[in-house]
Structure 1
Amino acid sequence: MVEVGDAVFVVELATSVAEQKEGLAGRTDVPAGTGMLFPFPERAEHQMWMAGMEVPVDVAWIDGDRVVGVVTLVPCTEHDQTTCPRWTAPAPATALLEVPAGALRDVEPGDEIEVRETA
């Protein structure tokens, strides 16, 4: 579970390289209040892409317990990640959060974010 501002999201974890490469690609819907969290093994300016995505998403780059960047991204229906644009974290990040487009409209860099494990 991830909480940022007034929003709470029940998230899937993408921890392996394969899970992070696949992400939310191919899904025709990302329901409100859900998303995917990508914890990274190291703090860096990570890149992401929208290859194979069918729906727009809001993305927050996270460093520890703070948001370092937020952007709304549109789908790239190409399945080859080399033909789709890439976005780089605006600052070193330890994780990335993908949620339905518009869900992070009130979130700004510097906002606190909390990741909690659920039973």
Structure 2
Amino acid sequence: MRVVHDPAGDGDDEGGRTVLATDVAVADDALAKLRGLRFRSSLPDGFALVFPFEGVGRRDIDMLFVRTPIDVLWLVEERVERVDRLRPWLGFGLAKADCVIELPPGVAADVSTGDRVFLEDDGE
């Protein structure tokens, strides 16, 4: 599985689609969502942690015990609602989303509100 950024949002490969992550972990239960990236001092290149939710709601991310900055994407139906860089230990973000994606710092530098970001099977 990989995380794909489609700035044009039309699914056309010619529109500048890029792969943001190829090593994707999914936090699909309450314990995994609570743990998140806590206690990690770094993130490998190509890594993403995806938090899927049932329906759209206000989703918060705190950085307590996270020792590295991260980029965070809040998505609603694969559209970016918010992009933020959160600081280690003290960072906090809140936005409406049905999916939140955490990435190494700098990976989401070219992602903007309204862009399409989605998970795609990488064919393995």
Q: When the two structures are superposed, what TM-score results if normalisation uses the length of structure 2?
A: 0.81
Q: Show the counterpart of 1:8.
A: 20
Structure 2 gap segments, 5+ residues each: 7-17
User: How far apart in 2 are the matches of 1:72 and 1:21?
Assistant: 19
Structure 1 gap segments, 5+ residues each: 77-83
2:56 corresponds to which letter in structure 1?
A: R
User: How far apart in 2 are the matches of 1:85 and 1:101?
Assistant: 13
SS in 2 for 1:18: helix
Q: Show the counterpart of 2:101.
A: 97
More strand as a share of residues: 2
Deviation string 1:13-42 (CA, Å, 9 cap, x unpaired) is: 001111011101111210111110000122
Percent identical residues: 27
Q: When the two structures are superposed, what TM-score results if normalisation uses the length of structure 1?
A: 0.85
User: How far apart in 2 are the matches of 1:73 and 1:31?
Assistant: 17
Q: Show the counterpart of 1:87.
A: 93
User: How far apart in 2 are the matches of 1:71 and 1:37?
Assistant: 15
Measured on the aligned residues, the alpha-carbon RMSD in Å equals 1.5
1:117 shift after superposition: 3.6
1:116 shift after superposition: 1.8
SS in 2 for 1:20: helix
Number of residue pairs matched by the alignment: 110
